[in-house]
Every structure is written in structure tokens, then in C-alpha cells.
Amino acid sequence: MQSAARQLRLFSDTEGPGAKPGFSVRESRRAKRLSIKVYPRGRVEVVVPKRTRAADVQAFIEANREWIERSRASFATVVPPEPFVLPNRIELPAIGQSFRVRYERRTGAATVKYRSGSDVVTLRGRTGDDAECVAALRRWLAAVAKKEFLPRLRALSELTDNPFQRMHVRCQKTCWGSHSSTGTISMNFCLLFLEPDLLRYLMIHELCHARHMNHSRRFWQRVGRFEPDYERLDKALGESWKSIPAWLGIY
């Protein structure tokens, strides 16, 4: 049986909330019930348990249609919708680098591949397809983040005496980072778009979970040993989705 997300792909692109860019259905092994999240720029994500019937997902969306539109309208008064435009330049404050983006169309190409230089990232292939271009840029950002984040994380691990086993780079939609019980730290490549002090704070925060896998008083005391300004930085991090470019389609 096809997944609910796959069965609803046509629906989400052509009906209801799907008539607006950024509507998606995601299956989750951990989800126990259907839920809807509306992001500040209007993107809507429906999270459903595995093996949920497509008809049930559609009925759930229909039942919550008014709430979705009210939420979108409420956010729109604070964050006006931005038209989708592929970038010609990408600024990455976290690592102090800036890249010009070049697009080279190749007739007959089915996908888009990237090639990165010192200050230019070139997309080649089916560059008339916006989705393919964004997918290529996401792969490039993930590669940049892996290269740039790992040495910084290792240095902070030694400084704070908080070990970790490995680092993964992901495109998380609901968090900036995480630390698993097996010692794996996952970093959101969107951190590249934030200021360096926020990237450093997030790394310290996740590393401190090596000693305390919670947000207890002792955890925050340990964070404070290495970042005394953690309260301000934590609040700023929670509002930093505004720094992520709209073309990524994440926040």
C-alpha cells in the first residue's frame, strides 16, 4: 500500500491548503495522532502516523481548514508573504562567507548538480526547475555545514569537556540541533544563516547534553559555565527562523 504522503501528493499540490506553496504531508514513526503545524511564513505541515489512510488525512485537513487559514492570516500580519525567488547570492554569517550563485542550464538534464568554488556555487543541469535547484542548494549547504561545523564542535568539546561520538547534519524543521543517547549530535544546516555567537551557543547547548540529557537546573548551570549569556542567546535562537531565506521553504 502506498504511503499516505505519496497518495496525497496530488491533493496537496492542487486542493485546499495545497493551492498555496509549502503544504506538505509527512509520515512519522513516532507520531501517535495526526497533527498540523503552521509555520510563520505560511508553510503547513501535516504529520501523520505510519500506515494512516490517505482518506483519513484528507478528512483531517478538511476538518481543520478554517484553523489553518486563520493561522496563516494571523502570521501574515506579522510576516508578510515573500514571493519565491532563487538566490543570486547566499550569505552565511555563521562562518563569515558569501557565495555568488550561477545557474547553467543543460538541455536534456533530469536533475541539478552543484559545484562549489571559493566564493561561487554553480548549479548545472535542469535549472529551469525551481524545486531541483533548491534541492541542489540544500545538498550544498549540508556539505558546507559538515565541513565547517565539525572542527568547531570538536574544539568546543575539548574546551567544555563534553564528549560526543559523531555529528550529523540535517535539515530539521522543528529544532536547531539535538543530542541522542548514543552521543550523536545533529546540527541543522540552517544555522549557517545565523550569527556566529548563536552557532557557538547551540553547539555548547548540545554538547552539555552529554552530561545531562534534560533541561534541568544542573544542565543550565553547566551551559552557563561556558556561555554566561545563554539566556539571551537561547531567546534569540528561538526567534532566528526570520534569518532563514524564504526560498529554502523550511520556516
pLDDT in tens, 41-67: 777 888 899 888 888 988 999 999 999
Segment (H or E) for 135: helix 130-160
The single residue listed with the C-alpha cell 550523536 is: 184
Q: Residue ranges per domain, the chain?
A: 4-78, 89-248
Give pLDDT tens digits for 226-241: 999 999 999 999 888 8
Q: pLDDT tens digits for 203-217?
A: 999 999 999 999 999
The grid coordinates of residue 209 equal 547534553
Q: What radius of gyration do the chain's Cα atoms show?
A: 20
Give the whole-angstrom CA distance, residue 213 versus residue 121.
38
Model pTM?
0.77
Crossing angle for the helix pair 217-226 and 130-160, to the nearest 10 degrees: 90
Checking if the pLDDT of 39 tops 90, the result is no
- Yes or no: is domain 89-248 CATH 3.20.20.70? no
* Band of pLDDT at residue 251, cut at 50, 70 and 90: low
Sheet with strand 184-188: strands edge to edge: 166-170, 184-188, 177-179
159 versus 173: the higher-pLDDT residue is 159
